[in-house]
Structure formats: C-alpha cells, structure tokens
Amino acid sequence: MAELFAEVVIMGTALNKGLHYSIPSRLAAKVQPGSRVSVELGKRKAAGIVLCVGDSLPELPDTIRIRPIRDTIDEAPAMPPDLLKLCRWVSEYYFYPLGQVLDLVIPFGWSEPVGPAPNGPGLKLVRLVDCQAGESLKSEKSKEIVRLLRLAGGTALLRDLRKLCKNPDYSLKKLIRDGVIAVEESKARPGADTPASSKAGTASPLLCKGGQGGFSNLWALELTEDQGAALDQTAPFMDNPSFQPFVLYGVTGSGKTEIYLRLVEKAVQCGNGSLVLVPEIGISAQMESIFRERFGAGLAVWHSALPERERKRAWADIRSGRKKIVLGARSAVFMPVQDLKLIIVDEEHDTSYKQEDHLRYNARDVALMRGKIAGAPVVMGSATPSIQTVHGCAEKRYRSILLPSRVMNKPLPEFEVVDMKREGGGQGIFSFKLREAVGETIRSGRQALLFLNRRGYGKYYVCNACGQALQCASCSVTLTYHKKDDRLRCHYCGWDTPLPERCPVCAHAALFPHGFGTEKVEKEVKRLFPDARVVRMDRDTINSQDRLLSALDAVRSGKADVLLGTQMVAKGHDFPNITLVGIINADAGLQAPDFRAGEVLVQLLIQVAGRAGRGEQPGRVILQTYNPSHFTIESALKLDYDGFCREELMSRKILQYPPFTRLLKMLVTSPVEQSARDGARLLAVVCREKADRFRNTGRSVAVLGPSPAAYVKLRNRFRQHLFIKTWTSSDMQSFIDCVLESIKGDPSFRSVQITVDRDPATEM
C-alpha cells in the first residue's frame, strides 16, 4: 500500500497554508479531509484540520522532515466537505488566517473530542398510549406533555421532553398512573429515532406533527395567493437542490415565517438539512418557539447565550446528523449541518449579521457562498432589503419574490408625524399627540410600543461653564448617565464612574444633563400613567436569555401595557395586541458619519412601525421628529421603501459608493497616538504606491485617507483608518493581497496593529 500524506492546518495559528504529515497505516481509514488530528509542531503538540489527503508530496526543501500524524481526535471528520471549502473561502476573502478561522468554526478545546452525545443514565422513551384520556385531563402541564408527544409523533426521549416542558415529572407520574402514557428504557442511542431517514421522502416521527410520519396536518393552513406563488417559485430548487439566491421581499406581517416553515418541511421530507439564520438572539427566541412547535426535537438552536454544555451537545447532534434543522444567530452559518440543501437568512438587511471584531465577516454573504458550495437555494427575507440586495435583484443575480400585502389583507399601520419644533422645544419626551394616544391605548385594553434607540437615563452631561462633555477615560466617547446605578457609563468599553460634583476640566459646579435614554423614558411613562405596566427591553435590562424570554412572555400574555425599548424590539417580533407604536426620536442616527446612515434609519423606522396592527385591530404609528421634510423621514412616513431605494441608488452611483464599487477599511491602532498616526501615514504611502502600479495594468484602485476614525480612541487604543475602493471584487482581492504581502515582517509597523475589514458595515 502506497504511503499517504495529509496537508494539515494548525488550529488557532496565523498560518494560511497547511503543513504536511505522513499518515500511519493504522490511521489510513480514519484520516479524511475535515478530520481533526493531533500532530507535533516543533517541540509541542498541536491540533489541526486535514485539508486534503494524497499519495505524494509537493516539492519541499531537503531540510524538512515529514512527521507522522499522532492520532485523530474525533471518531468521524469534524467538518463536512462543504464547510471545509467554505472556511478556505472565508480565510481568503476576509484576509484572515485559516488556522484562526477553523478555530472559530469549531468552538471547543483543540484537543477535546466532540463526539456523539452520551446516552447518560436512565435514558427513557416516553410513548403516547391513550391520547383521548390525556386530553380529558384538567392539568395544563399534562395537556402540554400530551401536546408535545403528539408533535413528536407519539414517542419522545424523556431528556428532550424535559427540555421542552419545565418540571414535567409530577404530571408524568399522573399520566403514567392513569395509563395515558408509558415509559420504557431506550434500546437505541439518543437521536436514533430523531434524524430523518437517509431515504429521500421519509421523515422522522419526531419531525412530524401528524403522528403518522406524514405532513398533511402541517400543510392544512391555507396560504395566501402570494405565499403560494412564492413556494411555487422555489419548488424546482427544492425538488432538485441547486444554488439559487431568492429575495423574499414582503411587507411586515405578510407571512414570510410560514414560507420558511414550509420550505424546511420540504427539505425534511427529502431527508435534507436546513439552516435558518436570524440576526439577533432576541429574534431567535421567538423563532425557536415557532419552529419548535412545528418540528419538536428535530430542531437544534445555536447562539452565543447557550451554556457551554448545551453548545457541545447541540454541535454533536448537528455534526452527527441527528438534528438536521439548525436555527441560530450569526455564527450558526458555520454549523456542520449534514446534507445541507436549504439556507434561510431572515431580516437579511440587518447590520447585526456583520461581525465587528476578530474575523469581520458578514453572515449573509457567507451564507450565500455556503449555498453556492453546497448546491442549495438561499432565501433572504426582509421587509426592507439592503440596498446591496435590491441592486442584486435589479441585475438579475437574485430572484425577487414579492409579498406586497399582509396576511388576511390586514391594513398596514397609518403614520402620523409630529414636528417637535412646534412642541415648544426644551427636553420634552412626549408630544401632546403621543401622550394622548398612549393613554387612550391603555384605557382600551390594548398595548403600546415606545421606541427609542438610546439606552440609559440622560444622554450625556455637559459643563455649562466651559462646554466640555464628560467623556470616557479610555474612549473618545461621551459617557451616558444611568440613574438606577447613579453612575456614568461608556457603552463601548464598559468603564463607569460616579457622577462628579464639579467639571473635571474647569472645576465649576455646572454639570447638566442633555438628552434622554430609555431609562428616563420609563420614568416619564410611569409618572404620566401610574397604573401602566411597563416592560423595558434594552441591554441594561435584558442581560440573559431568561430575562429576554420573561419580557417577551409578559407582552404576549397581556401582563404589560407598554413595551419600551431600543432596536431590540424593532424587528421580528409579533405582538398581536400592540396597536400603537410611538417613535420618540426618529432623527437618531440621521447625522452619523456613514454613507449608509439614511438606509439604516429608514429600515429601522419601517421595521418598528411594522409591529403595529398585526392582530385584529388596525395599527397606528406616531413619529416624533425635528426634520419632517428630510427625505429619509418622508420615505418612512409613506412606507415607500422602493422609492427610497431608487433615490439612494442614484445617489450612490453618482458618488461611486457600494454597491457600484467595492469598499475595504484598513484600521490602524496603537496605545500611542503618534504611533497610530505614523503607522497610518506609512500604510497609505504603501497603498498609493501599489495603486499606481495597478493603474499601469489597467485596473482602478482609489486610496482614501488616512484620517482619524469617528471614535479616535476606543479601549485605550488610538485609531486611524483609510479606505480602499475598487470597481471589482477580484481587483480588491489582488490589491490587498499585494499590500499585505509587502508589509509582512516590516519593522516599521511593529508598533501598530492593522485590521482589515472588507465590506465594512460602518465607517466608525
């Protein structure tokens, strides 16, 4: 037998290329592309991922000694082929070391095996014996257990049942005693009942709602004509899976989620895997309940708030194929889903899909590439698609599917604008119209949502003597006052300090608050409406998954009259009893130093307005602004997102901004201000020199800057940036590769850190 060799990328290192190792004969059958292996690196042990296996080596210097692989870490390859190929693309596209990409994709210890989840002691199977008797029981907990068993087709693991139903044991004993259900030892590994059969068209009972392995009950809900047409358009790419990007462009409340569910059901019928992405954990909580209702224990959930033990179990279930439906936030795009043939990106426009540190990837764009590699359709849904996506539809790169009306023809909310300049100025929070509307809504037994994208009590403190605003000691950012703690806090690095009695600059006792945040709005609501039950959702109040679920439950169950929050409440949620949305300061973010500021604002305003009137009663939106005639505000008032996109695309074409060009930010930081400036200037010289050479070959490159970043200091590091603009993606790839290669190892850059941010979401 010929000797075999493997190219291995060492995890966690800055290496972009693999190192070569021989494969011992005892490991020949186990070492495959995607396998995690233990190797020697110098004098230490290391873990790596096998990129490829072959019977020959490339030409290497005679001094290099080929060492053998020590062992495999997992029983089966840790990464499926499509995911391994995706990681190589991500490393190249985002200019990030492959070893560190792989380290992020497998989020556990390098040498720690992550195999099948163990059975654990006392694993039980719960079987449904007499459903009618169960339904006659009065206990709500008993009814819930029976309902979950029916969703699972009559049989479920006790472990999974305990996940879905809190403290079920007492009710289980009563159901067993009454002969409603039976519990027996499981003779199979956990999940043996759960994954879909490898045969196309056969579905697991745990994935079926009907209880007989069929989907007839799931498809009983009548679709709108537009929903039916949407499914018809995607059907060919589901029956014979192949890559095709779709844009599900539907107004708020048009039924996009039901289409997602139907598509996933179709994938399950065919024995294929599905990946559903949502931008934030807050949205994933609601989506999880919807998907759990439909798919039971066949669903795996992935996000950063999961405890480590649950993350390991979920990862093992996904990798083994026991669970082929994955719902998660941004990082779920890297989950090792088996037989992946459907990808859904909900709220595709959301900037939360962009990672802003370390590997600065955009999960939406990565999802598109993963679909291309896996041969899977990618459905991107939004009521306000990104300008980039709208342009992609115009160029026929994406297929657009329109849902122009709400389900059951419910009307869109009516907008009313309040010009706050006519309200007497000052620091007033509520206009007369909004105050009256909130009171009327509460008295009628309905709910109101108040939106302000600024947390804290006072926005900032300014000295009226010298004009100096109180700033963070580590960042060039004003501090926000939080009354509950009586402290000033930086929302970037977390540093806080007591409110000083005197100005630290001029020593005058002339510090006064300016502006307001959600904490102050909450106090004002309680003053105006003493009996109102208020739920506040922002990063100060929602700091755990339990608090998030508790807040959402309070609103849905009618235990709250007013929901107050930041952008956390603006999208994805469905609260049928909310009939009034009050946008307290629609101008926030309008003057941000970013060419996307208008796009982000109009998306946010239309999304939050869409929370109103999703139930039986019509919705009403009151928007408070100091700029009622601003184009962005007018577009939101008319709910005319198409018109906004047309104007915005014309403007960007004239100015040669994305999507008509490609943009990349190079951020230079240092704890020493002068070093950051010098490093940025020197980097700009290198870039301009390379740009001149590129132009001589007929390729266009523009170098903009350097200049101080919008926040010139963050976390005790001074920041300078410059932007690179090209007219094709391939030119950007070639140019930055050339620049990075030329400065590699250059001692002139030792005192600075250079971060490459391709397709930046902000210019901060």
Q: What is the pLDDT of residue 764?
A: 61
Q: What is the pLDDT of residue 426?
A: 52
Q: What is the pLDDT of residue 129?
A: 58
Q: Are 725 and 637 in contact (CB under 8 A)?
A: no
Residues 74-109 pLDDT 10s: 888 999 999 999 999 999 999 999 999 998 898 776
- pLDDT reading at 427 higher than 90: no
State how far the alpha carbon of 514 is from the alpha carbons of 431, 435, 496, in Å.
18, 21, 18
Q: What is the pLDDT of residue 735?
A: 97
For residues 133-146, average pLDDT: 67
- pLDDT reading at 364 higher than 70: yes
By the 10 Å C-beta count (0-12 exposed, 13-18 middle, 19+ buried), 204 is classed as buried
Q: What is the pLDDT of residue 380?
A: 98
Q: Is residue 209 part of a domain?
A: no
Q: Provide the strand spans (E) within 434-577.
A: 447-451, 460-463, 480-482, 487-489, 496-498, 511-514, 534-537, 562-565
Q: Is residue 202 part of a domain?
A: no
Please tell me which residue, 502 or 164, carries the higher pLDDT value: 502
For residues 326-346, average pLDDT: 95
Q: What is the pLDDT of residue 513?
A: 78
- pLDDT reading at 32 higher than 90: yes
Q: Is residue 322 part of a domain?
A: yes
Same domain, 342 and 441: no
Domain end (from 483, 515, 547) = 515
Q: Which two tokens stand for residue 608?
A: 């939050």
Gap between the Cα atoms of 660 and 640, Å rounded: 23
For residues 741-755, average pLDDT: 93
Same domain, 691 and 625: no
Nearest to 198 by CA among 255, 270, 274: 270
Residues 676-687 pLDDT 10s: 999 999 999 999
For residues 569-592, average pLDDT: 83
For residues 517-546, average pLDDT: 89
Same domain, 624 and 709: no
Lowest mean pLDDT among 66-70, 142-146, 417-421, 478-482: 142-146
Same domain, 435 and 499: no
Lowest mean pLDDT among 79-88, 395-404, 475-484: 475-484
Same domain, 140 and 151: yes
- pLDDT reading at 374 higher than 90: yes
Strands 181-185 and 124-128 come out as antiparallel
Same domain, 280 and 359: yes
Q: Percent of the chain scored above 70 by pLDDT?
A: 88
Q: What is the pLDDT of residue 763?
A: 64
- pLDDT reading at 250 higher than 80: yes
For residues 410-426, average pLDDT: 82
- pLDDT reading at 347 higher than 90: yes
Q: What is the pLDDT of residue 489?
A: 86
CATH number at residue 70: 3.40.1440.60
Please tell me which residue, 178 or 308, carries the higher pLDDT value: 308
- pLDDT reading at 110 higher than 70: no
CATH number at residue 698: 3.30.70.360
Instruction: Say how many domains are in the chain.
Output: 6
3-class SS of residue 754: strand
Residues 188-222 pLDDT 10s: 443 333 333 333 333 333 333 333 233 333 344 68
3-class SS of residue 474: coil
Q: What is the pLDDT of residue 64?
A: 85
Q: What is the pLDDT of residue 437?
A: 95
Same domain, 170 and 65: no
Same domain, 433 and 580: yes
Residues 690-736 pLDDT 10s: 999 999 998 999 999 899 988 888 889 999 999 999 999 999 999 99
Nearest to 4 by CA among 66, 76, 56: 56
Q: Are 337 and 324 in contact (CB under 8 A)?
A: yes
Same domain, 249 and 332: yes
Same domain, 292 and 383: yes
Q: What is the pLDDT of residue 65?
A: 87
Q: What mean pLDDT is reported for the chain?
A: 85
Q: What is the pLDDT of residue 201?
A: 33
Q: What is the pLDDT of residue 216?
A: 32
Q: What is the pLDDT of residue 116?
A: 52
Q: What is the pLDDT of residue 331?
A: 94
Lowest mean pLDDT among 454-458, 472-476, 655-659: 454-458
Q: What is the pLDDT of residue 751?
A: 94
**268 membership: H or E segment, kind and range:** helix 256-269
Nearest to 383 by CA among 586, 555, 614, 692: 614
Q: What is the pLDDT of residue 138?
A: 64
Lowest mean pLDDT among 496-510, 516-530, 582-596, 695-709: 582-596
Lowest mean pLDDT among 57-66, 187-196, 287-296, 675-684: 187-196
Q: Sorting pLDDT into bands at 50, 70 and 90, what band is 532?
A: very high
Q: Provide the strand spans (E) within 138-243.
A: 155-157, 181-185
Q: What is the pLDDT of residue 159?
A: 67
Q: Percent of the chain scored above 90 by pLDDT?
A: 50
**675 membership: H or E segment, kind and range:** helix 673-696
Please tell me which residue, 261 or 307, carries the higher pLDDT value: 261
- pLDDT reading at 125 higher than 80: no
- Domain span at residue 151 reads 124-185
- pLDDT reading at 382 higher than 90: yes
Phi, psi dihedrals of residue 336, rounded to the nearest 5°: -80, 60
For residues 540-547, average pLDDT: 80
Q: What is the pLDDT of residue 178?
A: 75
Q: Sorting pLDDT into bands at 50, 70 and 90, what band is 115?
A: low
Q: Is residue 215 part of a domain?
A: no
Q: Is residue 489 part of a domain?
A: yes
What DSSP string describes 120-144?
A: -TT-EEEEES-HHHHHT---HHHHH
Domain end (from 372, 399, 426) = 399
Q: Is residue 192 part of a domain?
A: no
Same domain, 707 and 746: yes
Write the CB contacts of 173 (distance below 8 Å, at least 6 apart in sequence): none
For residues 547-565, average pLDDT: 88
CATH number at residue 446: 3.40.50.300
Same domain, 624 and 522: yes
Q: Is residue 200 part of a domain?
A: no
For residues 263-276, average pLDDT: 93
Q: What is the pLDDT of residue 118?
A: 41
Nearest to 156 by CA among 29, 270, 295: 295
Q: Is residue 437 part of a domain?
A: yes
